[in-house]
């Protein structure tokens, strides 16, 4: 079920919706609602979460975020809203329910580390595929998504395939180049984790193949002509290094240097364009807009500092912050910003703690998930990530993986006293294959 969600989220273009449903017609959002309904029915039928650690700080933080969103919505409706803000606010509630379904199924549906590893492998492969697709768009300067326009029952929205300088900005299957870069770079730590562990296996012969998704994701960041993607690339690599063996750290460092040189030589003008993005940032309109936005936050927050204006009610006509943390502060107030930060921090903490009590494969996944959460959190300071389906969906899916890893982990002192239990013959045969 989670794999189907990944396919809806990453493979189906985000600007494709089911006819007649409008903003509610995105397949990924609808499948998230299916996951929520499935989880609710499972609990009503007496379903019990798998055994493991009882206290789930990520679940508590996620519940707090959902509670703040609901209270903020009620507060906004009681104050009265313009007619064109009511529908976006309701749509924001539906999106929240969809994210909650993904999170809950990940937390309670991933029973053991085998489930987590399989799901993560599929996520890594899909990340490599969409990264390859983005590189093809960059090379051909075409979206190559026109095939979706002729499918009956679907509506193909306008794409945001743009250029910066002399280079095309790949959009992949996302709705915007910023979202595409954030998604690929945000999943880079997990692709690196898969690469250094041979696809979370001990077989070294398979290790080279798993470096392909990581290489493609890094190349997308280097040719994205985006400051946020370059910053995210640096954060992803730095966050991945502590959990890597020394030999893999050297390989990663050398590979990163080689990739930079290859891109600089193979794509004339790319190096100077990327450097100018940072040296000329003080005069760039987007940078100035983000800087000026911070000065206006107190004005927008004055009416309701605790609960904000209401999730989804702050439309672009008021201001475009290009910063999800600031937008969350304005829409959900101090309580909402704190709750979202709690989800991110608790997910990272849970994954780091879980890595100490899991088997080697599960520990690698947990450390990679923690690094991905950190990378996405940093990237959310460069664009309104919760307004885009791919970045928001992956944030809560990875948070669910972190929480599931924490639940199934045992404390190190307890794990050392557990008796050794042989695998069933079928599981052993499957692992050998």
Full DSSP string of 259-325:
HHHHHHHHSTTHHHHHHHHHHTGGG-HHHHHHHHHHHHHHHHHTT-TTT-S-TTT--TTT-----HH
Rounded average pLDDT over 218-238: 85
pLDDT tens-digit readout, 146-180: 776 777 777 877 665 666 656 778 888 888 888 99
pLDDT tens-digit readout, 315-328: 877 777 888 999 99
* Helical H segments across 206-268, by residue range: 211-222, 227-240, 246-266
Query: Which position has the token pair 């870069």?
Result: 181
Query: Which DSSP symbol is given to 159?
Result: P
Query: Which DSSP symbol is given to 154?
Result: E
Residue 427 belongs to a domain: no
Residue 394 belongs to a domain: yes
Burial class of residue 416 in the structure, from the number of CB atoms within 10 Å of its CB (0-12 exposed, 13-18 middle, 19+ buried): exposed
What is the pLDDT of the chain when averaged over all its residues?
A: 83
Whether residue 266 has pLDDT greater than 80: no
Range list of β-strands (E), 52-207 = 154-156, 162-164, 167-169
Residue 431 belongs to a domain: no
Rounded average pLDDT over 194-198: 86
Give the residue with greater pLDDT, 70 vs 224.
70
Q: What is the pLDDT of residue 417?
A: 37
Residue 300 belongs to a domain: yes
Residue 42 belongs to a domain: yes
Q: What is the pLDDT of residue 413?
A: 42
Q: Which two tokens stand for residue 337?
A: 């910003």
Least reliable range by pLDDT among 71-75, 118-122, 195-199: 195-199
Rounded average pLDDT over 35-55: 84
Residue pair 322/382 in contact (Cβ under 8 Å)? The answer is yes
Question: How confident is residue 52, by pLDDT bands cut at 50, 70 and 90?
Answer: low
Rounded average pLDDT over 336-340: 95
pTM over 0.75: yes
For 96, 119, 130, the CA distances from 346, given in Å and listed in that order, are 19, 21, 29
Residue pair 295/326 in contact (Cβ under 8 Å)? The answer is no
Q: Which residues contact 35 (CB under 8 A, 6 or more apart)?
A: 1, 2, 5, 98, 101, 102, 104, 105
Number of domains the chain is built from = 1
Q: What is the pLDDT of residue 14?
A: 85
Q: If phi over 0 gives left and psi between -120 and 50 gives alpha, with beta otherwise, what is residue 269?
A: left
Residue 38 belongs to a domain: yes
For residue 280, what are the domain limits?
2-48+64-410
Residue pair 409/116 in contact (Cβ under 8 Å)? The answer is no
Strand (E) or helix (H) holding 193: helix 188-196
Query: Which position has the token pair 């987007």?
Result: 286
Residue pair 43/105 in contact (Cβ under 8 Å)? The answer is no
Give the residue with greater pLDDT, 322 vs 124.
124
Backbone angles phi, psi at 334, to 5 degrees: -65, -40
Query: Which position has the token pair 């669910």?
Result: 400
Residue 424 belongs to a domain: no
Q: How far apart are CA 137 and CA 161, in angstroms?
A: 9
Strand (E) or helix (H) holding 195: helix 188-196
Q: Which of 297-301, 404-408, 410-414 has the highest mean pLDDT?
A: 404-408
Rounded percentage of the chain residues whose pLDDT exceeds 70: 82
Backbone angles phi, psi at 168, to 5 degrees: -75, 145
Rounded percentage of the chain residues whose pLDDT exceeds 90: 40
Q: What is the pLDDT of residue 280?
A: 57
Query: Which position has the token pair 């509630």?
Result: 93
Q: Which residues contact 255 (CB under 8 A, 6 or more apart)?
A: 211, 215, 218
3 state SS of 145: coil
Q: Which two tokens stand for residue 393?
A: 């969906």
Residue 91 belongs to a domain: yes
Whether residue 419 has pLDDT greater than 80: no
């Amino acid at each position: 079920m989670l794999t189907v969600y990944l396919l809806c989220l990453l493979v189906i273009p985000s600007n494709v919706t089911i006819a007649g449903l409008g903003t509610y017609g995105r397949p990924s959002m609808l499948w998230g609602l299916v996951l929520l309904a499935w989880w609710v029915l499972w609990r009503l039928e007496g379903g019990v979460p798998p055994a493991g650690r009882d206290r789930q700080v990520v679940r508590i933080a996620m519940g707090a975020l959902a509670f703040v969103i609901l209270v903020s919505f009620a507060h906004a409706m009681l104050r009265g809203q313009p007619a064109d803000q009511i529908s976006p606010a309701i749509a924001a509630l539906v999106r929240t329910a969809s994210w909650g379904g993904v999170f809950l199924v990940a937390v309670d549906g991933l029973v053991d580390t085998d489930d987590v590893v399989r799901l993560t492998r599929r996520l890594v492969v899909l990340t490599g595929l969409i990264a390859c697709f983005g590189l093809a768009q960059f090379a051909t300067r075409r979206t190559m998504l026109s095939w979706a326009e002729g499918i009956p029952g679907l509506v193909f929205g306008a794409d945001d395939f743009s250029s910066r300088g002399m280079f095309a900005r790949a959009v992949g299957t996302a709705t915007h180049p910023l979202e595409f870069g954030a998604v690929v770079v945000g999943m880079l730590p997990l692709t690196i984790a898969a690469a250094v562990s041979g696809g979370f296996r001990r077989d070294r012969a398979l290790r080279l193949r798993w470096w392909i998704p990581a290489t493609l994701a890094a190349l997308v960041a280097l040719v994205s002509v985006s400051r946020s993607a370059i910053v995210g690339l640096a954060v992803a690599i730095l966050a991945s290094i502590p959990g890597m063996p020394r030999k893999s750290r050297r390989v990663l460092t050398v590979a990163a240097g080689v990739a930079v040189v290859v891109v600089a030589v193979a794509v004339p003008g790319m190096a100077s364009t990327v450097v100018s993005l940072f040296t000329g940032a003080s005069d760039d309109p987007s940078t100035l807009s983000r800087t000026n936005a911070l000065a206006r936050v107190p004005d927008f927050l004055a009416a309701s500092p605790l609960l904000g204006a209401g999730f989804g009610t702050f439309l672009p006509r008021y201001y475009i912050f290009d910063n999800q943390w600031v937008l969350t502060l304005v829409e959900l107030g101090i309580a909402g910003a704190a709750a979202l930060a709690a989800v991110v921090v608790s997910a990272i903490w849970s994954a780091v703690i879980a890595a100490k009590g899991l088997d080697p494969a599960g520990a690698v996944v947990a450390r990679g998930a923690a690094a991905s959460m950190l990378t996405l959190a940093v990237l959310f300071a460069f664009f309104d990530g919760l307004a885009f389906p791919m970045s928001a969906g992956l944030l809560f899916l990875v948070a669910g993986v972190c929480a599931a890893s924490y639940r199934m982990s045992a404390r190190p002192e307890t794990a050392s006293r557990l008796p050794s239990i042989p695998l069933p013959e079928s599981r052993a045969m499957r692992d050998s294959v």
